[in-house]
Structure 1
Amino acid sequence: MRPPPEVLDLYAVPADSAPLAGGQGHSALAGDLVLSPGRDPRVAVWLNPIIARLSADLDHERPRSLRLAMPIPTRELHWVEQGWGATRFEPDTRPCQELDVVLATGRLLHARLAAKVGSEPDGIRDRDDRWARAERVAFDERRADGIPTEVEALVARLSAERDGTDLGPDQLVHGGLFGNVLLDGEGVPFVIDFAPYWRPTLWAEAVCVLDAVVTGRARVAVMGDWSVGAARQAMLRAGIFRLLSDLEPDVVTYEHAFEAAAARRPE
C-alpha cells in the first residue's frame, strides 16, 4: 500500500515513497515523514494537538528520558488526508522488545499524560472502530454481539470472572504499547502509533504484557504477576479486549497465557 500522489503532495514530500515497518505493516517513508493509513480524522482532530504539544516538550528536555513521534499536518492544516496520517521520521531507531523497558516507558508516558490531560477529551467516546468496540465490551459497557465462535468460550470465561475491583483512575493511555516503542540512536525510548483510550493505566500495562506474551517476546511465566486482585481484573479485561479486536486471534496461545496466570494463584 502506497500513499497516492495527491496525498504526498499535500504533505509536501517527494512523489516517491518506500514501505516502512509500523502502522500495522502498511506505513510508508516519504521524505522526512512516515505516512500511515487507516487514520480517523475525527480522532486526530483532538488527539494530535495533545501528542504534538507533549512531543515538543519532551524533545526540549535535557537529558531526554522519553520521546514521542510528532504528528505533522498537511499544507492545508488537516491531520488526515484520505485516511493517511503523518509523523516526523526518526532515523536510526530500532524496535524495543524488552518488556521491562516498554513497561517503564509506558509509566513515564502515562505520568506525563496525566499531568497534561486532566479531563476526558471530547470525542474519545465517539470512536467506533473494532478496538473501541472491544474495549467497551471488556469493561462491560457494551453488549458482546457477534462474537466469533472460536473465541466465544474463552471470552465467556474471562467475562464471568470480572468483578468490581477498583483498577485506579481513568486517564488518557496508550493501549497498544508493545511493538510501538523504539529506541533512538542514543537509546532513548521513542513511542509511535498512539492508540488512545480513557482507561486506568493498569489496564494499559496488562494489554502490554499480554501482547508481549502472545507474540512470544516475553516468557509466559510473567502472567503469574497478573493472577490476583486488581492486576488480575485488569488482565481479564485485556484478554477480552484482544480476543475481540484481533482479526485472527491465536486462541490457543491466549488460553495458554491465562492458564499460566491461573497456575500461579495462591490457594
Structure 2
Amino acid sequence: MTVQIPVVRRGRARRPGDSTPLSALLTTVIALGAVVMLAPFAWLIVAATHNTSEIFSTPPALLPGSRFWTNLTGLFTNLELGAAFKNSMIVSLVYTVFGIVVCSTAGYAFAKFRFRGRDAMFTVIVASLALPGQVTLVPLFQIMVQLGWLNSYQALILPNLALPFGIFLMRQTMQSVPDELIQAARVDGAGEFRTFFQIVLPTMRPALAALAIFLFLGQWNDFVYPLIVQRTPDAYTLPVALATLHGVQATDYGQLLTGTLVSALPVLVLFLFLQRYFVAGLLAGSVKQ
C-alpha cells in the first residue's frame, strides 16, 4: 500500500517593495491630488507671462507667453514694488526670529516650570485660538495711534510676537524633552538661559523649523492688519501694494498675477529649505516620554 503525501505549494513571499492593488490605488489618488494642488500654481506661472486680454481669451492660453518682463517692469512703474518687497522681507524675517524666541521661551516655561496659575494661563492661551483676529483690529489700531507707531515696522512686528499657536506647539514639543537632561545641566552649573539655548533648543530643530514656516508665512501673507496701520505707499507690504493694482474701471491682471508670483517665491524657497524638518516638527510633541 502506497501512501501519497500531498505537496503544499507555497507562493512567493511578498517583499516590502511589491505593489498591491491597494497601494497602486493610493498612489494614483495621491498623484491626482498633487496634480489638482499644483494646477493653480502652474496656471499662475503661465498667466504671469500674458497680458489681460490673453489671460481671458477663449480658449485660454496654456503655454507661456512673452509678456513676463513687460509685466514685471510695469509693476515697478505703477507701484513701489521694491519698497513693498523690502518692507515685507524685513517685517517677516524680524518677526520670525523674535517670534521663535518668544514662543519657545514661553513654551519652555509652561512645559518645564511649575508656578501658580500655569494651567489657567495656558488654558486661556489655547482658548484664544478660537478668537477671530478681526476682533482685535480696532483695539490694536487705537494702541498704535496712541503710541505713534503708524507707518512703522514695530506696529507690524510686536503685537503678534506671542502667537498662541506657536506657544502651544513649543509647549507640546518641549514636554518630550527629558527632565533628566535639564537636571543634569543644572547640576553641572549651567544657568537657565544656558540650559535653554545650549541644551534644549538644539534638540528641537524640527519643531523650530516648522514654527519658522508658520510665522513667516502668516506675516508675509497678512493683508488686513497692515492695510490698517500702514498709511502711505512707501510703508505698504507686498500684499497691500498688490491690492492697489485693482482699478475702479480696469485691472491689469497680467501685472497683478506677476506680482502674485513674485510674492509666492520667497515662501516657496523657505519651504523647500525646511521641508525635511516640517513634518518631523509637527509630530515632535505627539509622543510624550
Q: Which has the higher contact order (CA 8 A, sep 6+)?
A: 2
TM-score of the two chains, using structure 1 as the length reference: 0.21
Q: Which structure has the larger Rg over C-alpha atoms?
A: 2
